[in-house]
Amino acid sequence: MLLLLSFLFPMIAGTVISVMHFESEKGRNRFYAGTIVLTDMLMLALLAARDAGTVTLFTLSEHVTVSFCPDGFGRLVLVFVLLLYTAVCFYAFEYMKMEERPNVFFAFFFVSMGALISVCMASNLVTLYLCFELATLSSVPLVLHEMTKDAVAAGLKYLFYSIAGALMGLLAVFFVYYYGTGECTFIYGGFLDPGRLSGREGVFLAAVFAGILGFGTKAGMYPMHGWLPTAHPIAPAPASSLLSGIIAKAGIVAVVRLVYYSAGADILRGTWVQYAWMILAMLTIFMGSMMAFREKVTKKRLAYSTVSQISYIMLGLSMLSPEGLRGALLHLMSHASSKGCLFLIAGIFIYKLNKRNVNELKGIGRQMPVTMWCFMIAALSLVGIPPMGGFLSKWVIAGAAIGNGMGALSILPPVILLISALLTAGYLFPIAVDAFFPGEEFLKENPVPEKKEPSCLMTVPLIVLCAAALIVGVFGIRIVQMAGL
């Protein structure tokens, strides 16, 4: 019962919110706060339970069920779903004052939260696919919330890309089930039947590669990345933070489940699928970093950065080794914390100062010292400066690449990671430098700036996310080991 309630409760609450009328803003925020706290309590109780068991909602055929059973990997991602959604919820109490229809936003906010929780707890590919689609459909309204022409266009672009990607993923699901052993529950190493697969490996590999590309659409991997730089700048800052920080990670969860828990990494290792996957991931890392370096709109710069940074995770996964998987999970955690924080900070620039471009942020460190210090800490993690989480994850991914024995593909990943780190420093550090050290001429024209630091509803979530990025850097290996990975 607890297992079902953990993701059904926020979905039901979101549905109720959509039809409720609140007499005051304070009463509305109390209801939202109560909903998020109760959801967190349910999830913490579930995480504390050693064996939550398996719950089957219904059976589609003899070996196709819709069922849920949290394992170590699912629980690990689930922690960061709770972290991001809780931080964004309280932040949005303040930010959504500048937006219309806050009830609509929070309704889909909670429904999408429930959908992501169900993605983490799915026990087979069919269940994962259905929950994955629900997560897409419930997050589209977050993108088009403002209902302007640009917002609707961005929302539709996100929807069409996601549907196309999900259909490619569904193709892989069909083939995995057909060549499976019958009991198609997730198991590390996969559940394929070698006898049935014998002689048909070529078609199967093509289907799995289609699935990687399809589910990778949500993660913004080239060539299916086009929706991400369009959707992020248009969506409200809380939605951008969720999209980049955790909703895009649904694609990562699906790829991990497909490759490591269904098909099995062994069948892909050393094939053209692995080589093509690694090359696409490295291309996306470099391309995203270059585009972010050239971009002048703050949220769009962060969006291109997301394209690059999430492909670090895909690169780690493409190693098809336990070390690569651990590096990918470490970067999932560090990126969720740091990029979620940066998008919230970009929202503060818009909310408090109506500044949307990076060249407008000179001297802002004197107006918002707490906010800009959080920006600097999150940027350190993205660049990969110790002891932040981004350093640890890149170190492990680079080590996995060097040890994979694949010739040039052992050397290229560390080189690409270093180039991307330099570009990341190039598009993030100048913002912080100009914010704190704007130059003598600027100081003469603006001797005594008016303090614009936002309320604690906005600053505390930033501090919590920065702390999470630091914790991943210090204790990340131990956290992954506790998850049994």
316-331 pLDDT per residue, tens: 999 999 999 999 999 9
pLDDT score of 448: 67
Q: What is the mean pLDDT of each run of 10 residues along the chain (485 residues)?
A: 83 86 81 91 83 78 83 91 94 87 89 93 92 92 85 88 91 90 84 84 93 90 82 87 91 94 90 94 92 90 91 94 94 94 94 89 88 95 92 93 82 92 93 86 73 88 95 93 84
pLDDT score of 2: 78
pLDDT score of 197: 84
Which residue do the tokens 């059904």 mark?
A: 8
The pTM of this model reads 0.93
Spans of all domains in the chain: 279-485
Asked whether the beta carbons of 214 and 167 are under 8 A apart, the reply is yes
